[in-house]
């Protein structure tokens, strides 16, 4: 799917509890020239994305949110934000 002119994957669903939305992945990477966008229902304030596998995450493309939720990306093995990475959502919603 093309989102904002970039070939991207749209992440939908997840488990909602109150105003929080939870996603869990065994691996999470974004290749150069690609995008990943999380969708959120209007009543979601926070999107928590955890990586449970043994590998670190390489983010080399666009990481975005379709909506106004805060995005939390967690990987206990580490996250590398490569040269080509960008975020595509409100700066106030970026949590490190």
Please list the residues that pair with 36 across neighbouring strands: 9, 63
How many CA within 13 A on the CB side of residue 38?
A: 30
- Whether 66 and 42 have beta carbons less than 8 Å apart is answered as no
The strands making up 86-88's β-sheet, listed across from edge to edge, are 2-3, 6-11, 35-39, 62-66, 86-88
8: left (phi over 0), alpha (psi -120 to 50) or beta: beta
Domain ranges in the chain are 2-89
Per-residue pLDDT tens for 3-40?
777 878 899 999 999 999 999 999 999 999 999 999 98
pLDDT (tens digit per residue) in 34-88: 999 999 889 999 999 999 999 999 999 999 998 889 999 999 999 999 988 888 7
Strand partners, 57: 79
Could you give the C-alpha distances from 49 to 2, 13, 22, 25, 63, in angstroms and in order? 22, 12, 6, 8, 12
pTM of the model: 0.86
């Amino acid at each position: 799917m093309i989102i904002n002119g970039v070939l991207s994957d749209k992440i939908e669903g997840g488990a909602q509890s109150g105003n929080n939305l939870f996603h869990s992945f065994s691996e999470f990477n974004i290749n150069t020239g690609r995008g990943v966008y999380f969708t959120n229902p209007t009543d979601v304030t926070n999107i928590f994305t955890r990586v449970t596998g043994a590998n670190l995450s390489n983010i080399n493309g666009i990481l975005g949110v379709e909506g106004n939720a805060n995005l939390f990306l967690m990987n206990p093995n580490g996250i590398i934000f490569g040269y080509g990475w960008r975020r595509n959502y409100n700066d106030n919603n970026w949590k490190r």
